[in-house]
Amino acid sequence: MHAQGRECPALRWYEWAVTQPSATSRWLPSYLLLALIWGGSFAFMKIGLESLTPVGVSLGRIVLGAITLLIISAITRTALPPRRTWKPLFIYGALVSTIPWTMFAFSETHISSALAGIINGATPLMTLIAILLVFPEERPNRQRIIGLTIGFAGVLVVVGIWQGLGGGTLIGIGACIIAIACYGISYPYGRRHLTGGPLASDLTPLALATGVLLMGTIQTAPIALFTGVVVAPIQTSTIISMLGLGCLGSGIAYILNFRVLGRADATTASTVTYIPPLIAVIIGAIFLDEHITWNQPIGGVLVVVGAATAQGILRLPKRSRVRGGRDSGTMTPS
C-alpha cells in the first residue's frame, strides 16, 4: 500500500478490514460468506456450462475476477506487480487459476458439481504432500501420516471405488485430481518464489491476486480461440452464474479472505476451506437436483477430518510411553 493512498476513504476501510483484532462477531460473517461463495462456485460452473465451453467458463471467471480486482486496486491505490515478478507470477497463475479452474469446469461435464466440490476438499492434503516433497525441513510425522491416510481413504469413499467407475466418471474425477494437484503444487512454489522469497516485499496480497488473474487471462484467452467459448445461446442464468463465479468467487472472495485473516487467528482462518464441500453438496442437491449417494457426504467428512488432522488442527493424543519396563497407562493430549 502506498502512503499517499491513506487519505482515500475506501483505502481506510480496506486497511481497517484487514487489521482489526480477533473477535468472533467481527470475523464470523465474512468467514461464512466466504465459505458460501467458494462452495457455490461449483454450482455456478455447472450452470455456466449450459451455454459455455469449459474453457469459456474458466476464461469468463478469470476475466471478471481480474476486472473486479483491478477496480479494487484502483480504489485502494494498490500498485500492480512489478516486472521482475512476472515470470514466477505466470507460472503461479497457471497453477492456481488457469489449469485448475479449466479442469474443474471440464470435470463438471462428466460429474456432478457436488462431487467436484467434495473432491476439492482434498486440496489441503495435496498441499501437504507437495510441501513435504519440496521442503526437506517439513518432515512427515505420525500426525501428518495418519491425517493423509484418513483423507485419502475419504477420497476413495467419496468416489465409491468399490462400485467401479464408468469412463465418463473416471475422466471427471481425474480432472478434479489434476486441479487439486495444481493447487497443492502452487503453495510451495508461491512460498519459494513469491510470498516467501526475495520478491515478497514487492507484492501485497491484493497485488498478488490481481497479478495471478491477469496472467490467467493471458494464458486462457489464446486457448479459447481454438476451443471456442459458446456452445448454446447465452441465458440470464449464465450471466448471473458467471458474475457470481468471477466477481464474487474470484474477486470479492479475496477481500473477504483478507478480512478473515486480519480478524481471526491463522488456524481459524485456515478452516474456511473445510466448509465449501458441504455447501457444494447442499446447493447441488437443492438447486440443481443432483443425486447425492450416501458415500459422498460420509467420504467428504473423512476428507475434512483427515485434512484437519494432517494440518494439526485436530490433535492426536500422544502414544503411551513405557517407563521402567511398564506401560505408563496414560494418554496425554498433544
Task: Give the count of domains, the chain.
Answer: 1
Residue of higher predicted confidence among 133 and 103: 103
**Taking a C-beta distance cutoff of 8 angstroms, is the pair 62, 217 a contact?**
yes
Neighbouring C-alpha atoms within 13 Å toward the C-beta of 289: 0
State the pLDDT at residue 333: 42
Which value, in Å, is the radius of gyration of the alpha carbons in the chain? 21
Is residue 52 assigned to a domain?
yes
* Higher pLDDT, residue 122 or 49: 49
**Per DSSP, what are the bridge partners of residue 52?**
230
pLDDT in tens, 139-185: 778 888 888 888 889 888 887 877 766 667 889 999 999 999 999 89
pLDDT at 188: 85
| CB-CB neighbours of 284 under 10 Å | 26
What does the longest C-alpha to C-alpha distance in the chain come to? 77
Three state DSSP letters for 21-70: CCCHHHHHHHHHHHHHHHHHHHHHHHHHCCCECHHHHHHHHHHHHHHHHH
Question: How would you class 222 by CB atoms within 10 Å of its CB: exposed for 0-12, middle for 13-18, buried for 19 or more?
Answer: exposed
- Does residue 308 form part of some domain? yes
Asked if residue 50 is part of any domain, the answer here is yes
Residue in the block written with cell 495418519: 146
Would 330 be classed as within a structural domain? no
Assess if residue 324 is contained within a domain. no
Strand-strand pairing, 322-323 and 326-327: antiparallel
The DSSP letter of residue 294 is T
HSE-CB of 235 using CA atoms within 13 angstroms: 11
28 belongs to a structural domain: no
CB-count burial class (<10 Å; 0-12, 13-18, 19+) for 190: buried
Predicted local confidence at residue 156, as pLDDT = 86
Answer yes or no: is pLDDT of 57 > 80: yes
266-319 tens-digit pLDDT: 556 667 778 888 899 999 999 999 988 888 889 889 988 888 887 777 777 776
For the chain, percent of residues with pLDDT exceeding 70: 83
Could you tell me if residue 322 is inside a domain?
Answer: no
**By residue range, what is the domain housing residue 172?**
41-315
Q: Who's near 94: CB < 8 A, 6+ residues apart?
A: 182, 215, 216, 219
Rounded (to 5) percent helix, strand, coil in the chain: 75, 0, 25
166 located within any domain: yes
